[in-house]
Amino acid sequence: MAGVLRLSHIGICVSDLERSLVFYRALGFEERSRLRVSGEPPARLLELEDVDLSAVYLERDGTRIELLHYPSPGHVGDGKAGPMNGLGLTHLSLRVADLDAVARALALAGGHILERSRIGIPAAKTRAVFATDPDGTRIELVEAPGDPDGLPGEG
């Protein structure tokens, strides 16, 4: 679309900023910058009252995420992984070289492995499983041959 320059970032609300930083660093994201805002106009932009926001921007493979922590007014939600057919952002997906090693590292970094979602497709030499970050955001891990920049099964 004319006028749109680029994707800036993907925002993820977290309940504990330092705990989430440990998790996303385990995925290879590197910190780029931090931001602290409060009052107006952030409250108007975010459509929240009494805003006090700490944000950390992390980047990996040219994709930037923003971890948002709200000391005020706090966060809402139960921290459980939402259904994949829920409206809105459903997950982040990462190609991995060793599914089991990455899953173990994420569990040690405060994530949860959704073992019930684990699949294997021997004919395609592909395996996948969903994990969640400490606050329930789904992270898809895909181990597959071929072009790591392509879609699973390509290449």
List the single range of 14-28, 79-93, 125-139 with lowest mean pLDDT: 79-93
The CATH number of whichever domain residue 134 belongs to comes to 3.10.180.10
The domain boundary residue, chosen from 72, 105, 124: 72
Considering the domain architecture, whether residues 16 and 67 belong to the same structural domain is answered as: yes
Task: Find the angle CA(144)-CA(95)-CA(81) to the nearest 5 degrees.
Answer: 115
How many domains in the chain? 2
Considering the domain architecture, whether residues 20 and 61 belong to the same structural domain is answered as: yes
Note whether residue 41 is domain-resident.
yes
Considering the domain architecture, whether residues 105 and 52 belong to the same structural domain is answered as: no
* Token pair listed for 24: 């996303």
Residues 136, 78 contacting (CB under 8 angstroms): yes
Mean pLDDT on 37-63: 94
- Residue 33's pLDDT is 98
User: pLDDT band at 23, cuts 50/70/90?
Assistant: very high
The domain boundary residue, chosen from 38, 72, 106: 72
Which residue in 99, 100, 81, 101 sits closest to 91, CA to CA? 81
What's the rounded Cα separation, in Å, for the pair 42 and 50? 10
pTM for this model (two decimals)? 0.89
* Residue 36, amino acid: R
The residues facing 139 across adjacent strands are: 92, 131
Expressed as residue numbers, the domain containing 34 is 10-72
